[in-house]
Amino acid sequence: MRKMLRVFTILMIVSFLWLITFALNIAAFEKTDLEVASFQGGYGIDWLEKIGKEYEELHPNVKVKVWGNPRVWEQLRPRFVAGTPPDVCAPGWGFDFWAAIYEDKIRPLDEALNSKAYDQDEMWKEIFIGDLLAAGEWEGKHYIMPLFLNVFGWWYNKALFEKNGWEVSKTW
């Protein structure tokens, strides 16, 4: 489990470094400020702020501003509609990604996914689990990057169920 968590953490950090690099590529280095907005939940945003500082050290002409909120999608939606979204964002579960994609508010990531991964021999798209990457695809283009994966397991107390005459569910 620890190994899986370590791999997951490294993948998240590499993903956000890649997203920041991709955002700057789009701007062709004309802008010196990079805004990163994120859902601020149980993981906080300290890890994003650390990535931003590391990126600033590698690119002294860039200032990374990271901000977050537990309901960040409410703050982002009007900005997407107005055409002024942050450079990089992870807006959380409340954001309607598919509507934003359909409304042409999100840029496809295929060009970056087909480029060489940071400090790797593979392309970015080869680093991700294919089915996870495919989940963010629409009309043959990739718009959403996997950030994390949860696996849930259900258990029950067999003796307690038997004692109370409860039937174990066949569906969940």
The larger pLDDT score, comparing residue 119 to residue 20, is at 119
- Terminal CA-to-CA distance of the chain, rounded, Å? 25
Distance CA 140, CA 74 (A): 28
pTM for the predicted model, two decimal places? 0.63
Domains of the chain with bracketed CATH = 2-164 (3.40.190.10)
Q: pLDDT tens-digit profile of 82-131?
A: 989 999 988 888 888 899 899 888 889 999 999 998 888 999 899 888 88
Distance CA 125, CA 109 (A): 10
